[in-house]
Chains A and B, each alone.
Chain A
Amino acid sequence: MPRIDWRSLPLQIKQHLIQRLKDREITQGDLESLKMWIEANPDVPDGPWCKGFGSFKLAGEGKYPKTFLTKHQRCVGKNL
């Protein structure tokens, strides 16, 4: 099982997520949950996967996190 390589996630995507906190589109608690999840260094499947954090979702494939989605956007792959 691969571990996520956060350095592969483009800076602009990370900045956009933080901007959504400023715009109150995501909550402080959900960003804190993401931080804790990152620090837990979880295993992820080899194929596509999706992880929900309440007000947003993270989609990835194998060790590569791809993008953040809104809670209403459809996310393909295994739900974590």
Chain B
Amino acid sequence: MMSTLIDYLEELADSDRVITVPADEVDRLAERFGDRVRQMGQLNMNNGGSLEIPVSVIRDAATQLESQSLLAAVQELKSERFAELIDRSATSCLIEKISENYRGYFRDLMTRYQETTDPLETTRLRDQLLREVFGS
């Protein structure tokens, strides 16, 4: 029980953690919910179009949705059916929130890089920006 709590807290504290959505899953989601799916994170064209999304971005987007909307989005994503009203579906709201938060995340990264005076942090943020812009 204790290790679960620690694991969870470690996950929350790890701001650099990303999840990778494989290219075929990105394609499937884009077919159902449109091209904006590809704006939820860093689209890695070197890797066939996989999508890397910072966990913090997803977490922030999820907390901005009402819990009912989040549950509805999960149900829609689990079902293989096309959303009937794509623009109004809970998943579309979630995708929109994640994309918006990802844009904020990238802008914040650039600002932190410009403003830091710590050489180690400068190198770390530079390398992170390189991955965000050019892919890994």
Closest beta carbon of chain A to B16's beta carbon, Å: 17
For residue A54, give the distance in angstroms from its CB to the closest CB of chain B: 15
User: A39-B45, A41-B45 are known contacts. Are A28 and B107 too (CB-CB below 8 A)?
Assistant: yes
Q: With A7-B46, A38-B45, A41-B45 known to touch, is A15 a contact of B130 (CB < 8 Å)?
A: yes
Instruction: Determine the distance from Cα of A49 to Cα of B132 in the docked complex, in whole angstroms.
Output: 24
Residue from A7, A18, A28, A32 within 8 A of B126 (CB atoms)? A18
Give the contacting residue for A21; candidates B46, B49, B129, B134; CB below 8 A: B129
Cβ-closest chain A residue relative to B132: A35
C-beta contact mask, B118-136 vs A, less than 8 Å → 1, else 0? Answer: 0000100010011011110
Q: Is A35 within 8 A of B106, CB to CB?
A: yes
Residues in A with CB closer than 8 Å to B97 are none
Known: A9-B134, A14-B134. A31 touches B38 (CB 8 A): no
**Cβ-defined partner of A14 (8 Å) among B46, B106, B122, B130:** B130
Chain B residues near A32 (CB, 8 Å)?
A: 106-107, 110
Alpha-carbon distance A7/B113, docked complex (angstroms): 23
